[in-house]
Amino acid sequence: NAGVTQTPKFQVLKTGQSMTLQCAQDMNHEYMSWYRQDPGMGLRLIHYSVGAGITDQGEVPNGYNVSRSTTEDFPLRLLSAAPSQTSVYFCASSYTDLRRHYGYTFGSGTRLTVV
């Protein structure tokens, strides 16, 4: 199993550019989420989804859009990149049924720099 795959691993953007961070999982997990982590900080939740067609905002959603058209994919779109969005982005997935739940599986992250 590949688990949770994030692409790209590194990206440099200019202020105002847009881009999409990709996240794909092959475990048939219903739940997927995006976090950002700034230096020396914990993870902050951006958006999450409990199934295809359902998304919701987390703690820091401004400047980001998501969609969930399939169970496998949960892309994160930066609409107009700002230096404050320089961070490491992590995608995670899990089952929603707690009887099957064994914890979240995280991707290896996308390191984004906005100049």
Partner 1 sequence: SQQGEEDPQALSIQEGENATMNCSYKTSINNLQWYRQNSGRGLVHLILIRSNEREKHSGRLRVTLDTSKKSSSLLITASRAADTASYFCAPTSSGNTPLVFGKGTRLSVIA
Cβ-based burial of 112 (10 A; exposed 0-12, middle 13-18, buried ≥19) = buried
Indicate which single residue of 106, 112, 113, 115 sits in contact with partner 1 (rule: CB under 8 A): 106
Q: How far is the CB of 101 from partner 1 (least distance, A)?
A: 6
Indicate which single residue of 92, 93, 112, 114 sits in contact with partner 1 (rule: CB under 8 A): 92
Indicate which single residue of 21, 23, 107, 114 sits in contact with partner 1 (rule: CB under 8 A): 107
The number of C-alpha atoms within 13 Å of 31 and in the hemisphere containing its C-beta is 14
Indicate which single residue of 19, 27, 45, 60 sits in contact with partner 1 (rule: CB under 8 A): 45
Helix or strand run (H / E) with residue 94: strand 87-94
Alpha-helical (H) ranges within 1-115 are none
Site for partner 1 in 58-87 (CB under 8 A): 58-59
Among 33, 37, 44, 12, smallest CA distance to 76 is for: 33
Residue ranges in contact with partner 1 by CB under 8 A: 30-31, 33, 35, 41-43, 45, 48, 50, 58-59, 88, 90, 92, 94-98, 101-109
